[in-house]
Amino acid sequence: MAADKYPKMKLKKTLLSLVLFGFYLLLISPPVYAGFTDGLTRTLLAPLEIPKAMLQGGLNPVGIVGGALTGTARCLTGVVGGLGQMASGTASTASQAAVAAAPYAKYAPLLFL
């Protein structure tokens, strides 16, 4: 039984640490990490575009399928745009963006859990 609960607890601890890390970045120095936190928010909320677009499509089957396609496109653009925003942060040049995003590159695989 303990073996069944361990992956769930590990996932909960990982998600909690990500949320706390985001709040830490928001509270410590908002101007420096504003681009990163905005991108993180955009990336995490992007999957909610699919059910939102499906509900906006109406109850007929054509509207639901069209909403699913539209929501998927919005989801993909939200994820890619959010990752780009996280990478660039508030830096104005590409070299400054790379320096600003380098410490957080190790957290990128966590987005695909």
Whole domain around residue 51: which residue ranges? 2-112
Per-residue pLDDT at 102: 63
**pTM of the predicted model, to two decimals?**
0.54
Look up residue 88 and give its two tokens. Answer: 């660039």
Per-residue pLDDT at 48: 92
Q: Return the exposure string of 11-35: e unless at least 16 CB atoms fall within 10 Å of the residue's CB, then b.
A: eeeeeeebeeebeebeeeeeeebeb
**Count of structural domains, the chain:** 1
Per-residue pLDDT at 30: 57
The answer to which of 2-6, 34-38, 84-88 has the lowest mean pLDDT is 2-6
Per-residue pLDDT at 37: 76
User: Which one has a higher pLDDT value, 96 or 74?
Assistant: 74
Per-residue pLDDT at 89: 65
